[in-house]
């Protein structure tokens, strides 16, 4: 087995476990937020029980009661929900290191965005995770944190600032992943530093026969609600990196901010619906409207870039072949010459005229309609060369 294959296996296995753990975490998060919203009070509940819900699943009925702070006694067996979150982060972070931080030239930096150097890029990316957590955590604990509406607005403004900053420091694709990692890390830190420790304090007080401080429980609930609203956009960011029209445009920061708004609206709709109140249907068309606005903003970007005019002088294939071999083939060849690549990325090769012609539509998507390729423009393709590719492709991508 070649060495590169071991590397690919490691990456694939990390990705697999990361996704599975994420499914378990998001699943339990959605389940508990919906359960919490659906709890109902009745006269028969024990003192200390805030509400109860009946559910049917897997051939049986469940009757779930929620003690708002702590019950008067604790059973020996108590199921905790924390390893779903921790393992999502541990395997996700390992993947981030293996794919992005060990290949910053390929995936993290783009000299046309900011010439920050590979080592600096990795240091900034690593530091942005704890720094953003410290800022978020301190505003949640400040006076602002007691007012959910003001806290959400302040949190969103800070988030947009972070998105703007990261999209102006890293390559389009690197920025998307880094924003996802940053928000995902805040979510896991909520579990690790607030939700679980507070729960442990509540249990400790209970075992001592003391009354637990109710703010501990409220803090935990606030943070798990934040996590719930952040889930949809984070998943979007994690799966977005193969769509260059999202991340390679000049206003990718606006698109990402818009995705957080869409995620908020859709989650809010479901949270209200699960609480048994009248469904607020208007939230869904509003989310669709924001989605439509994002779609329109990316198509105008695509049209504006290097589109070929009908009257342009035809471009000869020899010229196309020269461009592809100088700007693309270092990486996209059966034996890539680019350091760090042991095989052609995504199996895309431009070694023969037939391969170039067959892949013309992909060349158009990656190098003309968006500037995703050449990756971070490491091979310094010019706008004129992109335009020539566009003319050749739009006139039928003909071979001589
Ligand atoms: C510095 C190396 C490098 C150069 C130069 C480069 N690419 Fe790529 N290319 C990559 C990598 C890495 C990927 C895989 C990205 C991923 O994992 O999504 C890729 C992926 C692609 C894909 C597949 C995209 C997908 O998601 O299916 C196409 C098509 C492509 N490149 C075309 C080009 C063209 C056209 C050029 C020249 C104009 C070019 N590339 C130059 C590194 C390079």
pLDDT, residue 304, reads 42
pLDDT value for 210:
85
User: Are residues 188 and 85 in contact, defined by beta-carbon separation less than 8 angstroms?
Assistant: yes
Q: Which of 367, 29, 364 is nearest to 190 (CA)?
A: 29
Q: Would you state the pLDDT for residue 303?
A: 44
Dist. CA 281–CA 141, nearest whole Å: 33
Q: Which of 396, 247, 388 is nearest to 324 (CA)?
A: 388
Asked if 65 contacts 35 with a C-beta cutoff of 8 angstroms, the reply is no
39 is written with which tokens? 């709890």
Q: Which two tokens stand for residue 134?
A: 């410290």
Tokens 């965005």 — which residue? 113
Rg (CA), the chain: 25
pLDDT tens by residue, the chain, 400 residues:
566 678 889 999 999 999 999 999 999 988 998 898 889 999 888 888 989 999 999 999 999 999 876 777 788 888 999 999 999 999 999 999 999 999 898 889 888 888 899 999 999 999 999 999 999 999 999 999 999 899 999 999 999 999 999 999 998 889 999 999 999 999 999 999 999 999 999 888 888 888 888 899 889 989 988 999 999 999 999 998 878 788 877 788 999 999 999 999 999 999 888 888 888 999 999 999 999 999 988 875 544 444 455 567 889 999 999 999 999 999 999 999 988 788 899 899 999 999 999 999 999 988 988 788 998 888 999 999 999 999 999 888 989 8
Rounded Cα distance, 267 and 252, in Å: 23
What's the pLDDT at 121?
95
CA of 330, closest atom in ligand 1: 5
Q: Which of 251, 256, 356 is nearest to 304 (CA)?
A: 251
242 lines ligand 1 (CB under 6 A): yes
Task: Calculate the CA 157 to chain-centre distance.
Answer: 18
Is 174 close to ligand 1, i.e. is its CB under 6 Å away? no
- What is the 314 CA–ligand 1 centroid distance (Å)? 25
Q: What is the pLDDT of residue 305?
A: 43
Distance 245 CA to ligand 1 centre (A): 14
- Which residue owns the Cα nearest ligand 1 atom 18? 242
What's the confidence (pLDDT) of residue 1? 54
How far CA 229 is from CA of 193, 235, 255, 265, 375, in Å, comes to: 19, 11, 18, 9, 33
Q: Is the beta carbon of 336 within 6 A of some atom in ligand 1?
A: no
Per-residue confidence (pLDDT) for residue 80, from 0 to 100: 93
Angle value at C-alpha 149, between 137 and 252, nearest 5 degrees: 70
Dmax over Cα atoms in the chain, in whole Å?
Answer: 87
For residue 53, the model assigns a pLDDT of: 95
The minimum-distance atom of ligand 1 relative to the CA of 107 is 12
Check pocket membership of 98 for ligand 1, CB cut-off 6 A.
no
Give the whole-angstrom CA distance, residue 177 versus residue 163: 11
Residue 254 Cβ inside 6 Å of ligand 1? The answer reads: no
């Amino acid at each position: 087995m070649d060495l590169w294959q071991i590397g690919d296996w490691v990456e694939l296995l990390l990705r697999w476990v990361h996704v599975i753990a994420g499914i378990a975490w998001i699943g339990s998060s959605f389940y508990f937020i919906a359960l919490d919203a659906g709890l109902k009070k009745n006269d028969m509940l024990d003192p200390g029980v805030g509400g109860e819900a009946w559910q049917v699943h897997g051939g049986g009925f469940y009757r779930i009661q929620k003690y708002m702070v702590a019950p008067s006694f604790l059973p020996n067996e108590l199921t905790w929900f924390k390893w779903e979150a921790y393992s999502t982060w541990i395997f996700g972070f390992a993947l981030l290191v293996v794919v992005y931080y060990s290949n910053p030239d390929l995936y993290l930096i783009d000299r046309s965005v900011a010439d920050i150097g590979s080592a600096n890029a990795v240091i900034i990316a690593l530091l942005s995770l704890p720094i953003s957590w410290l800022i978020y955590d301190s505003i949640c604990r400040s006076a602002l944190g007691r007012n959910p509406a003001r806290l959400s607005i302040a949190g969103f403004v800070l988030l947009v600032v972070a998105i703007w900053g990261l999209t102006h420091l890293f390559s389009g694709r690197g920025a998307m992943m880094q924003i996802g990692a940053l928000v995902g890390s805040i979510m896991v830190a909520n579990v690790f530093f607030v939700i679980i420790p507070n729960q442990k304090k509540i249990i400790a007080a209970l075992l001592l026969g003391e009354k637990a401080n109710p703010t501990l429980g409220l803090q935990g609930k606030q943070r798990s609600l934040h996590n719930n609203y952040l889930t949809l956009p984070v998943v979007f960011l994690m799966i977005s990196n193969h769509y260059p029209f999202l991340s390679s445009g000049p206003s990718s920061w606006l698109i990402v901010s818009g995705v957080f708004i869409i995620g908020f609206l859709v989650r809010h709709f479901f949270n209200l619906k699960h609480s048994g109140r009248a469904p607020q249907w208007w939230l869904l068309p509003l989310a669709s409207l924001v989605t439509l606005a994002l779609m329109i903003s990316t198509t105008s970007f695509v049209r504006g870039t290097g589109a070929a005019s009908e009257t342009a002088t035809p471009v000869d294939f020899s010229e196309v072949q020269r461009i592809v071999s100088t700007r693309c083939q270092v990486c996209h060849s059966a034996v890539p010459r680019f350091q760090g690549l042991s095989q052609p990325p995504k199996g895309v090769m431009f070694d023969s005229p037939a391969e170039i012609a067959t892949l013309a539509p992909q060349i158009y998507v990656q190098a003309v309609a968006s500037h995703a390729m050449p990756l971070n423009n490491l091979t310094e393709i010019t706008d004129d060369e992109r335009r020539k590719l566009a003319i050749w492709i739009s006139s039928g991508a003909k071979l001589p």
